[in-house]
Amino acid sequence: MTAHPYPVSDFVAARRPHRKDAARNYDALLSAAREAFAEHGSAASLEDIARRAGVGIGTLYRNFPTRRHLFETVYADEVDALCRYALEVADLPPWEALTAWLHRFVGYTVTKQAVREALDHEAEIFLTCRESMYLAGGPLFERAQQAGEARTDMSFDDLLRMLAGITSTSFLDDTQRDRILAVALDGVHLRVAR
């Protein structure tokens, strides 16, 4: 049995250093990498990431020996946070829990295009992350379906593919993206007669 509820959580925990000072540097590098990838895509400079984190390039390479290692770790860390969020919202009413998680999912996909593009979609980490996302969000969708608040003629996979399609396009701004997301989710939501 794993120590964490999702397979990606074990991956993240295994890579994170245990010493406090090393963990601080590691976290600073992940945060800086997320920012740099969001701004510059997969071509973000490793030197810039180290500078943003306030560490030397040697510290970056000690934690992430290759660019791919850094991409995988950032990706896994983001998916782990998304999965943990599913646990945080699980006690909300079914539709509210599902939409809270889906909004977080959309925010994750919008900002993570560069990281995902840099990874081979058949790589083990990608498959582990996908499995974890389905384990986290799937039960929220099933609960909304069982409550009569979500369509039953679609699967969780259908729902995520629809949202991935929406987020793969560019928008004028976040307001337009959120409006289109609301229209899409309105097509999934069944209103329960009270």
- Does residue 141 or residue 1 have the better pLDDT? 141
For 36-73, the pLDDT digits (tens) are 988 888 888 999 999 999 999 999 999 999 988 898 89
Q: Where residue 2 falls among pLDDT bands split at 50, 70, 90?
A: very low
pLDDT of residue 42: 80
Q: Does pLDDT of 7 surpass 70?
A: yes
**DSSP-assigned letters across all residues of 99-119:** HHHHHHHHHHHHHTHHHHHHS
**DSSP-assigned letters across all residues of 2-43:** -SSSSHHHHHHHHHS-SSHHHHHHHHHHHHHHHHHHHHHGGG
pLDDT of residue 193: 56
Question: Any bridge partners for residue 150, and if so which?
Answer: 189
pLDDT of residue 110: 61
Report CA 162 to chain centroid distance, whole Å. 16
**What sign results for the dihedral spanned by CA atoms 149, 97, 138, 122?**
positive
For 28-37, the pLDDT digits (tens) are 999 999 889 8
Task: List the domains of the chain with CATH numbers.
Answer: 7-188 (1.10.357.10)
Q: Does pLDDT of 17 surpass 60?
A: yes
Please say whether the beta carbons of 109 and 164 come within 8 A. Answer: yes
The model carries a pTM of 0.85
Position 63, amino acid: N
Q: Where residue 143 falls among pLDDT bands split at 50, 70, 90?
A: very high
Average pLDDT of the chain?
A: 88
Kindly list the distances between the CA atom of residue 37 and the CA atoms of 17, 18, 63, 90, 144, in Å, as whole numbers in the listed order: 22, 26, 17, 30, 34
Q: Where residue 99 falls among pLDDT bands split at 50, 70, 90?
A: very high
